[in-house]
Structure 1
Amino acid sequence: MTKQTYNIRNIALDLLMRISDQGGYSHLVIDQMLKKNQLEPRDGGLLTEIVYGTLQRKITLEYDLNSFIRSNKKIDKWVNWLLYLSFYQMKYLDKVPDHAVIHQSVEIAKRKGHKGIANFVNGILRSVQREGFPDYQEISDPVKRVSIETSHPLWLVKRWNEQYGIGKTEKMCQTNITHKKVSIRVQPLRITREQLLSRLETSHIKASLSPFSEQGLVIEEGNILRDETFQESLFTIQDESSMLVAELMDLKEGMAVLDACSAPGGKATHIAEKMNDNGKVSAYDLHDKKAELVRKKAKELGLTSIQSAQSDARKLQEKHAKQSFDRILIDAPCSGLGVLRSKPDIKYNKTKEDIVKLSIIQKEILHHIEPLLKNEGKLMYSTCTVDQEENEEVIKDFVEKHPDYRVDPTFFDELPAILKDSSGRSEFGIQIFPQDINSDGFFMTRLVRDS
């Protein structure tokens, strides 16, 4: 065992403790650590895999551990996490031999604890090696089984089961623990999709055309973040579901567009690109630092039609007159339960109460902003969640209270073919599930204001 190998597991343990016990955001904490330690790509990849994988499977790994220890046994948190990450490697990483995992984990236990802890860790891992992991099919309650097998909180699986049924819920949960391919959106004012595809091929990066956006590419093989085209800001990393939002806004050059909840700027810059940077995009965010991210992103992409500033979306009537905008986007603050594949810690931090509070904020934003839309203008509402209380129920409440608004029937005609007959379609919009197009979970709808 090399010192570097030991360090990777030790760093992984420290990261998991920071994320779980100190509330750090997984993607930010991992990124900071990678930059600080300047790890080789291979080591950085292993570290990321262990941390994300252990987080993603935490409930499963906890269930596994409980089958090997006495129920009244008190274990320090760091020892729990050490065993979780060890279990993850033994169970899901074929290239890491069990004996190496056990040896490294015992060494960490010795250095961080004492001989008694090291013996305990060794005993647990040896038992797992001999006996194997539990069979989840023996769990008779299907909701509990899905919760354990896919590592989703029981309350969340129950909630989705009530909303969508166990079949769709299980598919969604299973998809949430799989890897998702990176997708990118070409900056068409700098390069065509075909030209970028050709350049990527010379760098041995394999990509395919996205069927959901004329600007979209899906990376099949290779590290796009290390390619020179990334440094040249020829594209934006964006999920395919997220790309659909601007694609379905019915944008035209010269329009005045409001992006009320804009950071980090992916949709605002997409809107500007769709209008050939000819128009005006007023982009706001609640926090000034996040509004600055939008300004930075627009500058990187060479877009001049975006004006970004700090503001609560519920106070934008103080900045704009009624009927100022041809198009409005409300990409509402939400629980984020559609992006669990890339941000697994979300599922452990959100509660039912959070969803209720967010749905209230979403309704407040819609109610406050709707006077800013011109007659016959169109308002796009989207979230990166899959919860009906934040999606269909918000829109149902809005149209009932605002008779001059209705769901635009032509919106459904413009959906990609694969989504036109989707089971996620309702009279209030389209719910895209992670398993539908192998993307993030997203809800979107388009409202039209009658004259």
Structure 2
Amino acid sequence: PLSAAVNTAVALAKANRCAWAAGFVNGLLRRAAAGTGQIPWPDPTQSPADALALEHALPRWLTARWIDRWGVETTGRLGVFLNTIPDITLRTNTLKTDRRRLMAAIEKEARRLSITQRSPEGVRLAQLARPITQMPAYRKGWFQVQDEAAQLVSHLLAPRPDETVWDACAGLGTKSGHLAQLMKNRGTIVATDISSTKRDCLGREMQRLGVAIVHGHAADLTTPASLPQLPMFDRILMDAPCSGLGVLQKNPDGKWRHAPEDLFAYHQRQVIMLDTASRRLRPGGRLVYAVCSMEPEENESVVKAFLQSHPEFAIDSCGTNLADIATALGDALNSEGCLRSFPHQHGMDGFFAASLMKQA
């Protein structure tokens, strides 16, 4: 009821050391609640974008483009899913344990526990008994928090032991840790990021996980001249900075931080970064471009623009090179060799990833 919503908002204001604002919040919300019957609601048959935007607390420009692409029904299902509380997904650190042992160790840490449907290392849990960082299994380095879609991206790259791999936008090192697992902690992973804070966190995280092959460096892929001296790589992962519109279930504020024109700016930046990364790939190597966005400007349009200026590359279309991992990726891997996940369809973040092979 509205009264309960008002009371909760007032309590939150007090709990967040804003007791001075509690009276203002109370008066404002009670006045708004009293006038709810006077607010005209858009007719879903006449203005579906407006109706879905209000129903699911989404920007109208976003519901309009989703309706154009997927239709009203699918956009509605996506809106419903984005407003649910997400499970927490872990990735087992197979350098220290296996999924069965991990689940046994944390079975009392959550009310609900299950394995992921596609990732062989994933565990889903909900309603935690205590914070993640207080769990003994976390302190032992037995897992990282990572959405299933992000786990599948590393499987798409499919690095092998003793290879030289570049995690070009490493961030906090979640994918770097996964790549090290897949390589059995043998070989070399160069993890670059522009943020010194993130690189420091990455170093500490690798220590917690027992990873010895990841080496962090500063790099800004938008300015190639500033890159450090890098070797040629067997495989490159570029999880590019993006709008984040595929992870709105976990980061709902993100939907209010962007406008349609931002997508083109991201597109331009991503094409530049992909071009920069590609120059360090050995002939016959694989480059995976990934974003946590479902928007075409950041998905197919980036890959198309890159391929137009790089004829030596081609999308690896689920043939010989992907046969060994196609089973794990399942229906999230399309016939073009691209990973595409949708929250309402796959129960994971909205991701896009393309596997690009360089001619030998």
Q: TM-score range by the shorter chain?
A: 0.7 to 0.9
Say if 1:292 and 1:180 are closer, same or farther in 2 by CA, change over 3 A.
same
| Structure whose alpha-carbon radius of gyration is higher | 1
Secondary structure of 1:375's partner? strand
Distance 1:313 1:216 in 2: 31
Paired amino acid for 1:389: E
Preserved contact between residue 152 and residue 347 of structure 1 (Cα < 8 Å) = yes
Counting only pairs closer than 5 Å after superposition, residues 356-435 of structure 1 correspond to structure 2 as 356-410=264-318, 413=323, 414-416=325-327, 419-420=330-331, 425=334, 427=336, 429-435=338-344
Distance 1:235 1:110 in 2: 39
Q: CA deviation at 1:178?
A: 1.2
Counting only pairs closer than 5 Å after superposition, residues 275-294 of structure 1 correspond to structure 2 as 275-294=183-202
Preserved contact between residue 177 and residue 341 of structure 1 (Cα < 8 Å) = yes
Counting only pairs closer than 5 Å after superposition, residues 53-202 of structure 1 correspond to structure 2 as 90=1, 97=4, 112=21, 121-125=29-33, 140-202=46-108
Secondary structure of 2:278's partner? helix
1:268 aligns with 2:176: yes
Paired amino acid for 1:415: A
Distance 1:417 1:259 in 2: 21
Structure with greater strand percent: 2
| Aligned residues with identical type, % of pairs | 25
Structure with greater helix percent: 1
Quick one: which of 232, 255, 261 aligns to 1:347?
A: 255
Distance 2:31 2:343 in 1: 39
Say if 1:190 and 1:393 are closer, same or farther in 2 by CA, change over 3 A.
same
Quick one: which of 154, 160, 164 aligns to 1:246?
A: 154
Distance 2:194 2:186 in 1: 26
The aligned counterpart of 2:163 is 255
Q: Which runs of 5+ in 2 are unaligned?
A: none
The aligned counterpart of 1:48 is none
The aligned counterpart of 1:219 is 125
Say if 1:412 and 1:273 are closer, same or farther in 2 by CA, change over 3 A.
closer
Distance 2:292 2:80 in 1: 18
The aligned counterpart of 1:444 is 353
Residues 304-313 or 220-229, more deviating: 220-229
Distance 1:373 1:110 in 2: 57
Secondary structure of 2:53's partner? helix
Distance 2:51 2:263 in 1: 24
Say if 1:103 and 1:306 are closer, same or farther in 2 by CA, change over 3 A.
closer
Q: Which runs of 5+ in 1 are unaligned?
A: 1-89
Distance 1:431 1:288 in 2: 31
Tell me the TM-score normalised to structure 2 length: 0.86
Say if 1:286 and 1:125 are closer, same or farther in 2 by CA, change over 3 A.
same
Quick one: which of 244, 259, 263 aligns to 1:336?
A: 244
Q: CA deviation at 1:170?
A: 2.5
Secondary structure of 1:409's partner? coil
Paired amino acid for 2:83: I
Quick one: which of 294, 319, 336 aligns to 2:228?
A: 319
Distance 1:310 1:106 in 2: 40
Quick one: which of 194, 200, 203 aligns to 1:295?
A: 203
Q: CA deviation at 1:406?
A: 0.3
Say if 1:149 and 1:287 are closer, same or farther in 2 by CA, change over 3 A.
same
Secondary structure of 2:170's partner? coil
Q: CA deviation at 1:157?
A: 1.5
Say if 1:215 and 1:364 are closer, same or farther in 2 by CA, change over 3 A.
same
Preserved contact between residue 88 and residue 147 of structure 2 (Cα < 8 Å) = yes
Say if 1:241 and 1:203 are closer, same or farther in 2 by CA, change over 3 A.
closer
Secondary structure of 2:200's partner? helix
Q: Aligned pairs, how many?
A: 352
Say if 1:155 and 1:191 are closer, same or farther in 2 by CA, change over 3 A.
same
Secondary structure of 1:313's partner? coil
Preserved contact between residue 219 and residue 228 of structure 2 (Cα < 8 Å) = no
Preserved contact between residue 366 and residue 398 of structure 1 (Cα < 8 Å) = yes
Q: CA deviation at 1:274?
A: 0.9
Q: CA deviation at 1:222?
A: 3.1
**Greater relative contact order: 1 or 2 (C-alpha under 8 angstroms, separation 6 or more)?**
2
Say if 1:127 and 1:298 are closer, same or farther in 2 by CA, change over 3 A.
same
